[in-house]
Amino acid sequence: MSKEKIAVAYSGGLDTSVMIKWLKDKYEGAEIVAVTGNLGQKMEIDNLEPKAIATGAKSFHFVDLRKTFVEDYIWKALKAGALYEDVYPLATALGRPLLAKALVDVALAEGCTMLTHGCTGKGNDQVRFEVTFAALAPQMSVIAPLRIWEFTSREQEIAYAMEHNIPVSATKKNPYSIDENIWGISIECGVLEDPMVAPPADAYQITTAPELAPDEPTVVDIEFLQGVPVALDGQMMEGLDLIVKLNELGAKNGVGRLDMIENRVVGIKSREIYEAPAATILHFAHRELERLTLEKSVFQYKKNISQDYANIIYSGTWFSPMRQALDAFVDETQKPVTGMVRLKLYKGNVTLLGRTSPNSLYNEALATYTEADTFDHKSAEGFIKIYGLGLKTFHEVNKGN
């Protein structure tokens, strides 16, 4: 049998470290290509390469995906208004197809024969990785060690790591399972598995508790150009910097804490805590600008598209003709979504202070109740007569209904 060359989606954590050695045992003489993607998570990048090599990888690739993540993934989701089951801004879910693509790109360039990831057998992430692999590199075989290996606990993995001199960080195990990127942090497991248990203070990684947040609110002006945020407080900014800044301001004010029971792709209901300050602020601001600039039927119809778009991201079919078709619709709707939204961040809340747009459809002369009113009140009478005609006829015929 020819030797395998295996591309591993590597994080430097216990699972993917143990995985490297385990794969080399299973596929004798296999060469391991470790790949880590930077999606803006705060991890020590410097130590990853020596760690991967010491663990047994032949080579290590670090791919900076932050700009692509913001411009080609996050902004699309924001323009679409994609919140899974009305709550989750989809940070983890949006990152997976991009990480999977980065892994495939390295694997193809390095002539790998196999792809692998460190996801468990009961989550959404295995689905997102493997559906993307199937779409982008159907010729490659895929292995998900966590679904098949012999270890049934973290302790067993640590014992295996010790036995084989695999460097694992000595830090005490975090009681939670955490996934982090620039669009948000997902936190589950431990005491959070009981949906009646309020999240303990230590579950939150970046946000200040609302009750401990500053007594002075933070006011922010966010400018959008065709649905994309381009400036903060009058200063033009790269998307990445803008998100970093809003995460900082939001976190300081306790904004962006979410606690939800969600429906996983694999049929399980799970409880997850999220921290997504920038995503919460930007979705709120974007929607308010849409209220001002979108024609009524577009505004109302787009709600359905938002839900469909969120389902696509959540269920791992990012690389699909359906997503592309919805992008075309969304981009068409975003043409007038230009303007500025002023918000107040205060003790866990985002509130609206004002909004303005060159494409505003709000006409004060029509809306006003003062003498400046230009609305034709008399024509309302004829409108109501005809508008209500169907109902009037129905009730004349069906008396007492």
- Which residue among 15, 257, 270, 357 is the active-site one? 15
> Would you count residue 126 as binding ligand ARG (CB under 6 A)?
no
Which residues inside 258-317 make contact with ligand ARG, applying CB under 6 A? 272
Residue 274 or 346 having the CB closest to ligand ARG: 274
Residue 92 or 357 having the CB closest to ligand ARG: 92
Phi-psi region of 126 (alpha: psi -120 to 50; beta: other; left: phi over 0): alpha
Which residue in the set 93, 166, 228, 350 belongs to the binding site for ligand ARG (CB under 6 A)?
Answer: 93
Residue 157 or 179 having the CB closest to ligand ARG: 179
Decide if 125 is catalytic.
yes
Residue 95 or 254 having the CB closest to ligand ARG: 95
Residues 6 or more apart whose CB falls under 8 angstroms from that of 219 comprise 342, 343, 344, 345, 353
Which residue in the set 188, 308, 327, 331 belongs to the binding site for ligand ARG (CB under 6 A)?
Answer: 188
Q: Tokens 């000595």 label which residue?
A: 170
Q: Tokens 């966590």 label which residue?
A: 146
For the bound state, the minimum distance from the C-beta of residue 137 to ligand ARG, rounded and expressed in Å, comes to 22
- Which residue among 11, 17, 96, 257 is the active-site one? 96
- Distance CA(108)–CA(143), nearest Å, equals 16
For the bound state, the minimum distance from the C-beta of residue 334 to ligand ARG, rounded and expressed in Å, comes to 25
Pull the structure tokens for residue 166.
């695999």
For the bound state, the minimum distance from the C-beta of residue 349 to ligand ARG, rounded and expressed in Å, comes to 24
Residue 154 or 335 having the CB closest to ligand ARG: 154
Which residue in the set 38, 59, 113, 177 belongs to the binding site for ligand ARG (CB under 6 A)?
Answer: 177
- Which residue among 11, 66, 125, 270 is the active-site one? 125
Decide if 15 is catalytic.
yes
Q: In what order do the strands lie in the sheet containing 59-64?
A: 59-64, 31-38, 5-9, 114-116, 141-143
For the bound state, the minimum distance from the C-beta of residue 29 to ligand ARG, rounded and expressed in Å, comes to 33
Which residue in the set 186, 293, 317, 334 belongs to the binding site for ligand ARG (CB under 6 A)?
Answer: 186
Question: Which of these ranges, 173-181, 220-228, 231-239, 359-367, lies near ligand ARG under the rule CB under 6 A?
Answer: 173-181
For the bound state, the minimum distance from the C-beta of residue 78 to ligand ARG, rounded and expressed in Å, comes to 17
For the bound state, the minimum distance from the C-beta of residue 313 to ligand ARG, rounded and expressed in Å, comes to 9
The count of residues interacting with ligand ARG (CB under 6 A) is: 10
Question: Which of these ranges, 10-18, 172-180, 325-333, 347-355, lies near ligand ARG under the rule CB under 6 A?
Answer: 172-180
For the annotated catalytic residues, the residue numbers are: 15, 96, 125, 177
**What is the binding site for ligand ARG (CB under 6 A)?**
92-93, 124, 177-179, 186-188, 272
